[in-house]
Chains A and B, each alone.
Chain A
């Protein structure tokens, strides 16, 4: 593509404001789609990212709370490194022994509500468990979900009479435990159904489903 000079100037201006962050709203989303499909636009964005980044690199760093790395690893289904595991192994073992010895089986946390999402062929794809007390959602996927290329499955609460609220990106396989925000908690309290949509990697960029809704399942009381 050989853009007209005026066209190139416009692209450069939009790329600069996109990277700077002042391009907002629908214009930002439209430009994002353009960047995803045009090599030239993507190139200008990369250039501005490279040129403006030193403004961010000189900011004062802040150490994140120590538990964040573990949360990331759990969400990705990655195990912490061996060093970490051995360091805490003794403590974990002692705790487990204490729990097994004294914790009555009936007090093991039970989900309040569950939803199961099956493939069209009937196989269990995801089991979603809601633990209201702990403000957690646990998603298990025993089988490898067939994921569209470069897309993620995103889970949504469908609160009665309100817009869907994102609950996060679904694991392709394994188990994910998600801490619920107040908004997600309230939405689930008012929801009788959950849904799954196909979204760009990392989830919907808009906060609302943007791709096709591929599953809807009831959220039932557990028991």
Chain B
């Protein structure tokens, strides 16, 4: 139930940020910055870049807090969305730049992936579990590590077309499972 409480707290703090309450931003930071920084570090693979991105993310959160609609869903996914889109934008600019930190070994990716699942994720956990191992790995690489189709093809040693169709089919299966 901790996750449900964290989400409710984040929603409340977002509302107060939208009203210009600077103290609420501090509390929201204490609540979600470690989660977002973990995600940014994983996606950007460079700590200094992740730190800069975290600053940008909280500036966006403050400026856009009023756009969060609690009737459209939980607050954490909204906050995670801001962080991930920022990271993907930065990755786009970084393309061609040398990667200074090597890809974490796959064991680490798997270790991260088996952290206890939050309550709110029960449905998606169930639906992800219905996918093939290859499909699950592809989704993890894309969502959690910010990898492109080409990079996933390279990392998993599969042809690009195969990776694209695995992901496409995985998303269709997820949609069907989530709606059933």
Contact = CB atoms under 8 A, between A and B. Distances in A.
Interface string A5-34: 000000011001101111011001000000
Nearest to A69: B29
Nearest to A46: B72
B130 to A, nearest CB: 14
A57 B167 contact: no
Contacts of B72: 43, 46, 50
Interface centre among B89, B113, B147 (most CB of A within 10 A): B89
A163 B22 CA distance: 37
B55 A54 contact: no
B118 interface: yes
Interface string A37-71: 00000010011011111111111111111001101
B146 A58 contact: no
Contacts of A62: 34, 37-38, 41
A201 interface: yes
A63 B147 CA distance: 23
Contacts of A13: 168, 171-172
Nearest to B171: A16
Contacts of A53: 74, 76-77, 80-81, 121
A52 B72 CA distance: 15
Contact of B143 (A56, A64, A78, A80): A56
B55 A24 contact: no
Given A61-B38, A81-B26, A21 B88 contact: yes
A202 interface: yes
A202 B121 contact: no
Interface of B: 3, 22-23, 25-26, 29, 33-35, 37-39, 41-42, 51-52, 54-56, 58-60, 62-64, 72-74, 76-78, 80-81, 84, 88-89, 92-93, 112-113, 115-118, 120-121, 123-125, 128, 139-140, 142-144, 146-149, 167-168, 171-172, 174-175, 178
26 contacts: A16-B174, A17-B168, A17-B171, A19-B81, A20-B143, A21-B143, A21-B147, A24-B149, A43-B72, A51-B123, A52-B143, A53-B81, A53-B121, A54-B121, A54-B125, A55-B140, A59-B115, A63-B33, A63-B34, A68-B54, A72-B59, A73-B26, A75-B55, A81-B26, A202-B59, A207-B93
Contacts of A52: 77, 124, 143
A221 interface: no
A146 interface: no
Given A12-B175, A51-B178, A64-B34, A57 B112 contact: no
A169 B52 CA distance: 13
B4 to A, nearest CB: 12
Given A64-B54, A68-B54, A78-B25, A54 B117 contact: yes
B76 A57 contact: yes
Contacts of A24: 88, 92, 148-149
A207 B77 CA distance: 25
Contacts of B54: 64, 68, 72
A58 B121 contact: yes
Given A21-B143, A51-B174, A81-B22, A56 B37 contact: no
A83 B99 CA distance: 41
A58 B81 CA distance: 15
Contact of A54 (B26, B120, B172, B175): B120
A16 B117 CA distance: 21
B22 A79 contact: yes
Contacts of B56: 202-203
